[in-house]
Amino acid sequence: MASWWHTDSDLGRGIEVVTDMGKSRDAGFIGYRRTLDAFTALFDRYKADNLIP
């Protein structure tokens, strides 16, 4: 048995993703952060803690 991404790769198809945040929002998870903002904030914190130059 091969995973779906392996099969798509072998067949030359792009990976498609369909997501729905409706159930998560119904459960109260309404906050979000843009990926770039989260990434930048993480590295700013690492710099402040002298973990990276």
d(CA 5, CA 14) in angstroms, rounded, equals: 9
d(CA 40, CA 42) in angstroms, rounded, equals: 5
Domain ranges for the chain, please list them. Answer: 4-48
Q: What is the mean predicted confidence (pLDDT) over 1-24?
A: 68
Give residue 44's pLDDT: 96
pTM of the model: 0.45
Using alpha carbons, list the distances in angstroms from residue 16 to 4, 19, 31, 32, 44: 11, 10, 25, 22, 33
Give residue 47's pLDDT: 96
Tens-digit pLDDT profile for residues 19-46: 778 888 899 988 888 889 999 999 999 9
Residue at 20: amino acid letter: D
